[in-house]
Amino acid sequence: MGIFTNNDAVPSSPEPQQPKRKKTRSTFSRSTQILQPPKTTTTISSVFTNTAQSPNYSTPRTLTAAAAQIKINDKGEFEQFRIRRSAGSSAWQGEAWEYYDAIGEIKYAFNLVASVVSRIRIYAAVVDDPSETPISVRQSELIDERLASAAERALGRLNSAYGGQAGLLRDAALNLSVAGECYLVQMPARPAYNLPESWDIRSVDEVTTDPRGGFNVIGRREQSTTTQGGIDKNSKLGKNAFVGRMWRSHPRYSDEADSSLRGLLDLCAELLLLNRTFRATARSRLNAGALYLPDGLSVAAQGDGDFPYDSEDGIGPNFTAEEAEDEFEEQLMDAMTTPIRDEESASAVVPLIIRGPAELGDKIKQFKFERSFDPALAERSDRVLERILQGLDVPKDVVTGLANVKYSNAMQIDESLYKAHIEPLMLLIADALTVVYLRPYLIANGFEETQVNRIVVWYDPSAIATRNDRATDADSGFDRMAVSSNTWRRAHGFSDADAPTPKEIALRLLQERGVLTPEFTEAMLSAVAPEVINTVRSQQQQASVAPIPPELQSALDAASQGAEAAGIEEEAPEEGQQQ
């Protein structure tokens, strides 16, 4: 268990269990940035049409997770690993990877799932009530502060050299989808090469054994050999290295891996066979066939002393019959190939004129060696591909596209992709990391097992949810007086410069309301457009027979200004409270 204590992020001595904290919020600052508590905010780039929420801990697992650490120093473990990898029950995994590389639809489907999973954030959590979502160790009052800190440091170490923690989740999802099995391997730091410690997901073909009883990690296909010449010394795992096996347990034999692709291998082989047939048929059409020309034909051209048929007796004096035939073939080939080399040549538009006896015209024939396409094979190929897509752990319409799907059905497909495929796979990964890595790490550092069993690896899927229709939501919120006019304008893409003036608001209200009482009209104009009501009052005073005395007008203006100042002072405490 040396891998749990040899990193700088973890103290070299075990961390003793401390008394429980009091039920008060702690100000302890943890430095693991990658494990910040999940925020329930939406993102700009998105996948699903509804906000995905972290499930309850008691959510049923449709995929059975299994995980176990491989003790690389144990000879018994070595023999079990070697037998398992050489057994016929694992041969299907190599075929699955070959079909993953050969069939684009399968590769796209699994890459789509893996890309979605890579955007999900994992964090150390505490299970308080299984019927509820586990909460972050930062926010829990049920565990010790040091245990929470150790759990975050442990999860912070899961940093892959191939894309960090997101790359680790992507590789795990891809391997579990294709082969149903993968390995969590610790690659120790290499100061000589300036390489830090790395925790990577490796496929079943990358972790191998050597005749001396050791384990190796290979990165290329040509390195998969038992000879020492094919194994790089840097790929050998040390005695303190960590290797954890994670797999989807088969319902019949729990130690065997399983995936949806396992039941589609025969169909994949048939599809590739049909594709090869179509490719061979297309290649057979690349040749131009054979052209049969009887003897006695020549090219009709102007007299040329060097041409064998230009003499009065037929063949020229300096040519034999065989040489005359060869010369005709050369001119015929030149007339056929010249338009290919030069599109502006006259041969591209003017046909080649051949002369000879009339009875030889019917004997000119062309033979084609092409193979005909069989429509039944094309239909069979489409049907095989459809069956393959129906058997994958991805909705078929997501792979083939949503062009022929209604909007309401498309939303259901997105929901189905998350609930039926992404969530079960993510639960499997979280459970496997909890069992094979997190809890053994904490127990190795001296924490009590009863407390450690509360700690789990959990995830926050809010980053894979789409933003809702902000414009529609803004309309609904504005009608319910839940959002301001500025918020409504931002949601619809307008700025504050597009806001209506007080006069426009007054005119719109008058148009909508129709006839209003004088008192309501005056009060409304005083609140919305005070300059309008002041203009109206001035005009009325000028037209009035007995205008208001200046002293009374000054008193009214002072009272009006005092009311406005009082209103501002009353609003100021409310703004302070809101802040």
Say how far apart CA 380 and CA 382 lie, in whole Å. 5
CB 18 within 8 A of CB 144: yes
Q: What is the mean pLDDT of residues 260-288?
A: 90
Which element (helix H / strand E) includes 30? Answer: none
Nearest to 326 by CA among 359, 301, 354, 297: 297
Residue span of the structural domain in which 149 resides: 2-19+42-259+407-464
Q: Are 317 and 449 found together in one domain?
A: no
Say how far apart CA 498 and CA 514 lie, in whole Å. 25
> Is residue 187 situated within a structural domain?
yes
Q: Are 170 and 246 found together in one domain?
A: yes
Say how far apart CA 448 and CA 42 lie, in whole Å. 38
Rg for the chain (alpha carbons), in Å?
40
Give, in order, the Cα–Cα distances in Å from 561 to each of 536, 552, 554, 558, 566.
Answer: 18, 14, 11, 5, 9
> Is residue 400 situated within a structural domain?
no
Q: Are 166 and 53 found together in one domain?
A: yes
> What is the model's pLDDT at position 420?
83
What spatial distance separates the first Cα and last Cα of the chain, rounded to whole Å? Answer: 51
Query: Is a pLDDT exceeding 80 seen at residue 509?
Result: no
Q: What is the mean pLDDT of residues 130-147?
A: 90
If you count them, how many residues does the chain have? 579
Q: What is the mean pLDDT of residues 512-529?
A: 68
Q: Which two tokens stand for residue 496?
A: 């504050």
CB 176 within 8 A of CB 220: no
Which element (helix H / strand E) includes 38? Answer: none
> What is the model's pLDDT at position 56?
85
> Is residue 246 situated within a structural domain?
yes
* Average model confidence (pLDDT) across the chain: 77
Query: Is a pLDDT exceeding 50 seen at residue 36?
Result: no
DSSP type of residue 185: E
Query: Is a pLDDT exceeding 70 seen at residue 435?
Result: yes
Q: Are 456 and 491 found together in one domain?
A: no
Q: Where are the alpha helices (DSSP H) in 492-549?
A: 502-513, 518-528, 530-543
CB 422 within 8 A of CB 464: yes
Which carries the bigger pLDDT value, residue 190 or residue 230?
190
Strands in 37-79 per DSSP E: 65-70
Q: Are 79 and 185 found together in one domain?
A: yes
> Is residue 14 situated within a structural domain?
yes
Q: Are 490 and 446 found together in one domain?
A: no
Residues contacting 234, CB < 8 A, separation 6+ = 190, 193
> Is residue 94 situated within a structural domain?
yes
Which carries the bigger pLDDT value, residue 225 or residue 164?
164
Strands 135-136 and 181-187: unpaired
Q: Which two tokens stand for residue 251?
A: 């319902």
Query: Is a pLDDT exceeding 50 seen at residue 307?
Result: no
User: In percent, how much of the chain has pLDDT > 70?
Assistant: 72
Nearest to 242 by CA among 70, 100, 376, 408: 70
User: Which letter, b or e, does each residue of 109-119 get, where b requires 16 or more Cβ atoms within 10 Å of its Cβ?
Assistant: bbebbbebbbb
Q: Are 458 and 496 found together in one domain?
A: no
Number of domains composing the chain: 3
Which carries the bigger pLDDT value, residue 173 or residue 481?
173
Query: Is a pLDDT exceeding 50 seen at residue 546?
Result: yes
Which carries the bigger pLDDT value, residue 74 or residue 515?
74
> Is residue 372 situated within a structural domain?
no
Q: Are 453 and 489 found together in one domain?
A: no
Which element (helix H / strand E) includes 362? Answer: none
> What is the model's pLDDT at position 175?
97
Which element (helix H / strand E) includes 367? Answer: strand 365-367
> Is residue 276 situated within a structural domain?
no
DSSP type of residue 48: B
Q: 524 φ, ψ to 5°? A: -65, -45
Nearest to 244 by CA among 182, 173, 168: 182
Residue 482, CB half-sphere, CA atoms under 13 Å: how many? 7
Q: Are 80 and 196 found together in one domain?
A: yes
Kindly report, residue by residue over 465-507, the tens digit of the pLDDT: 655 567 787 888 888 888 888 888 888 888 888 888 877 877 7
Q: Are 146 and 220 found together in one domain?
A: yes
Which element (helix H / strand E) includes 207? Answer: strand 207-209
Which carries the bigger pLDDT value, residue 537 or residue 273?
273
Which carries the bigger pLDDT value, residue 165 or residue 223?
165
> Is residue 132 situated within a structural domain?
yes
Q: Are 217 and 140 found together in one domain?
A: yes
Q: What is the mean pLDDT of residues 512-524?
A: 67
DSSP-assigned beta bridge partners for residue 199: 186
- Domain-terminating residue out of 310, 344, 367: 367
3-class DSSP string for 120-153: CEEEEEECCCCCCCCEECCCCCCCCHHHHHHHHH
Q: Are 456 and 487 found together in one domain?
A: no
> What is the model's pLDDT at position 234?
56
Written as one string, the DSSP assignment of 449-502 is: HHHHTTEEEEEEGGGGBPPP-HHHHHHHHHHTT-S-HHHHHHHTT--GGGSPPH
> What is the model's pLDDT at position 516?
63
Determine which of 225-234, 505-514, 517-526 has the lowest per-residue pLDDT on average.
225-234
